[in-house]
Amino acid sequence: MAQIAISSFVLCIALYLIARHEAEISLPVILMITVGVSVISILLSLAIGPFASLVALFILAYAIRRFCYISWPKAWAVTGVYAVTNIALAVGTVMLRR
């Protein structure tokens, strides 16, 4: 639950930094995108395993483009920032548990 909240916050910041004049940055929309992509990623990981992350990134880029009204290059840039920060968050969580 905390990771979804942090991911939503990261997505808001990435949208603001990359497409502040073009994107619609509204917290309910960002939360719905983050929760939707997280649930789809979990369900896909049960079906296709390690490829679920790649499919989830494509779904995230499409959702950002569709619901935040930005262009494809900016959607991919936001998706890249989101992916890198989620990887750093996962690694940091594992390091803290040691």
45-71 per-position pLDDT tens digit? 898 888 888 899 999 999 999 999 999
Banded pLDDT at 14 (limits 50, 70, 90): very high
> Residue 24 pLDDT more than 90?
no
CA separation (Å) from 10 to 1, 13, 85, 97? 14, 5, 8, 22
Q: Output the pTM of the full model.
A: 0.86
Q: Specify the number of domains making up the chain.
A: 1
Q: What are phi and psi of 29, to 5 degrees?
A: -65, -45
CB 8 within 8 A of CB 27: yes
Q: Which residues contact 5 (CB under 8 A, 6 or more apart)?
A: none
Mean pLDDT of the chain: 90
Determine the Cα–Cα distance for residues 49 and 41; give it in Å rounded to an integer: 10
Residue 16 domain boundaries: 2-97
